[in-house]
Amino acid sequence: EPEVTQTPSHQVTQMGQEVILRCVPISNHLYFYWYRQILGQKVEFLVSFYNNEISEKSEIFDDQFSVERPDGSNFTLKIRSTKLEDSAMYFCASRDGRNSYNEQFFGPGTRLTVL
């Protein structure tokens, strides 16, 4: 069964450093998403991406964040200058989008720890 993959599974970084979280969505899916979940809190939407551009972003997704689909398979989230409060699980998700079925499939997540 096709699945969303994410690397690395755990990233530890120093405050102020740049990190890039990587995702490989399900092949042929058209919509891509990033969500985050701070420990003990709910899953929060960050950004959606379709047709090589951002479709929607939340207030969390400020100028420190960017997304890119550098090739036909990868989807990345970059945080330019990490803050302590960026420590969270980051989930990538993808959705087919070519039919009415709206399920988003989530990757296993990257745990980001900012020290």
Partner 1 sequence: RKEVEQDPGPFNVPEGATVAFNCTYSNSASQSFFWYRQDCRKEPKLLMSVYSSGNEDGRFTAQLNRASQYISLLIRDSKLSDSATYLCVVNDDDYKLSFGAGTTVTVRA
Query: What is the footprint of partner 1 within residues 52-71 (CB under 8 A)?
Result: 55-56, 58
Q: How far is the CB of 104 from partner 1 (least distance, A)?
A: 6
Find residue 66's DSSP bridge partners: 78
C-alpha Rg value of the chain to the nearest Å: 13
- Residue range at the interface with partner 1 (CB under 8 A); choices 16-24, 67-75, 76-84, 107-115: 107-115
Of 74, 70, 66, residue with least CA distance to 27: 74
On whether the CB atoms of residues 13 and 113 are closer than 8 A, the answer is yes
User: CA-CA distance, 60 to 65, in Å (whole number)?
Assistant: 9
Work out whether 43 is an interface residue with partner 1 (CB under 8 A): yes
Q: How far is the CB of 16 from partner 1 (least distance, A)?
A: 26
Name residue 58's amino acid.
Answer: S
On whether the CB atoms of residues 58 and 44 are closer than 8 A, the answer is yes
Q: How far is the CB of 89 from partner 1 (least distance, A)?
A: 7
Work out whether 45 is an interface residue with partner 1 (CB under 8 A): yes
Q: Which residues bind partner 1 (CB under 8 A)?
A: 31, 33, 35, 41-45, 48, 50, 55-56, 58, 89, 91, 97, 102-109, 111
